[in-house]
Amino acid sequence: MLKAEKVETKDALDAIEYFYQQGWTDGFPIVPPTSDRILAMLASVKMEPDTIVGSIPERERAFTAEVVAINSVIAGCLPGYFPVVMAAVQAITESDFGLHGPSASTHGAAIMIAVNGPIVQQIGLNDSENAFGPGNRANATIGRAIRLLMMNAGGSHEFDRSTLGTPAKYSFCFAEKETDWTPLHVQRGFNEEDSTVTVFACEGPNQIQNHGALKGESILRTLADRMTPLGSFNMASETEMAVVICPEHYYHLRREGWTKETVQQFLYEHAVRSVADMKKAGLIEAPIGDGDDLQLKHAVPSPEHLLLMVAGGDAGRFSACMPGWFSYKQSKAVTKSISAATGFT
């Protein structure tokens, strides 16, 4: 059934060293992809090994279910995680995501994977303390599987020209916390009981602290300020952005009656810089004129271009924003149903 070349080694440690020698790792040790482990991955989705699940046309690269499974094993995924990986692969290879651009750019964008729905509890994805950080197998290995797939089958060794890159390229996968606010996947047209992945090409998290504000509006003004650095694509172009609200900020805002939609509207209106600021930074090469202080550039083109979520530990007033890559006309967030992508129920 499997078509990948078989390599025999003395033991697992020799296999790990062999993968290092071949350049098939991200710098960390791997799990040797034995036939049994690969087949266990494939058994969790309704696909034959040679099923084409996505491609990068600009590179003439295609991903089969078998290749995705191999890299998921290498990453350390359990078979229960594989439907999430598979849906993420299908999402990043949709034309709207424009995978070649952000994965080849010198900007060094990461692929953020946000998961919603019942599968979060089923496989133990982390939406709490250290949601973006280490310590949870599902979060770490699902994101890592996507990076290894890009390296070993997507041509990243050849095409990735990141000037600095970001640690988020190793893995950037988390779950949105269930709250009274509308979940991200419902905002994007799915039912609450659907399990989904949302992928987004972005910078690593930019943390935002506000421990002293007595009003929700003050918290949001802090967020809006952090969303508008002149050095981001969001100010230079027309780009989406992700914002993750921590629980302490969320509870404060909810008590005052804020909803996701009203927060999105406020951030859209207040995450702005003046044309005068943009001219001073050379984003617009022209003399500063009368009225330039009053003309405003928004960090996102509309409230709907803001991917707003809640995640993180219950203690600490630290939220985050993730500026996007280049322009939403070249790469936009994509949300995919896991059951539709894989047959998983």
Structure tokens at 12: 């697992």
Confidence at residue 344, expressed as pLDDT on a 0 to 100 scale = 65
The Cα 243–Cα 266 span in angstroms is: 13
The Cα 345–Cα 340 span in angstroms is: 9
> What are the residues facing 209 on neighbouring strands?
318
- Concatenated DSSP letters of 154-212: S-HHHH---SS--GGGT--EEEPPP-SSPPHHHHTT--TT--EEEEEEEPPPEEEE-SS
Coil, strand, or helix at residue 245?
strand
Element (H, E) at 63: strand 61-64
The Cα 142–Cα 82 span in angstroms is: 8
Classify the C-alpha dihedral 322-327-328-332 as positive or negative.
negative
pLDDT per residue as tens digits for the range 56-71: 999 999 999 999 999 9
Coil, strand, or helix at residue 345?
coil
pLDDT per residue as tens digits for the range 278-304: 999 999 999 999 999 999 999 999 999
Q: At 327, is the pLDDT very low, low, confident or very high (cuts 50, 70, 90)?
A: very high
**Contact status, residue 108 vs residue 167, Cβ threshold 8 Å:** no
pTM (predicted TM-score)? 0.97
pLDDT per residue as tens digits for the range 37-59: 999 999 999 899 999 999 999 99
Task: Please determine, for residue 343, whether its predicted confidence score (pLDDT) is greater than 80.
Answer: no
**Contact status, residue 83 vs residue 70, Cβ threshold 8 Å:** no
Structure tokens at 113: 């994977």
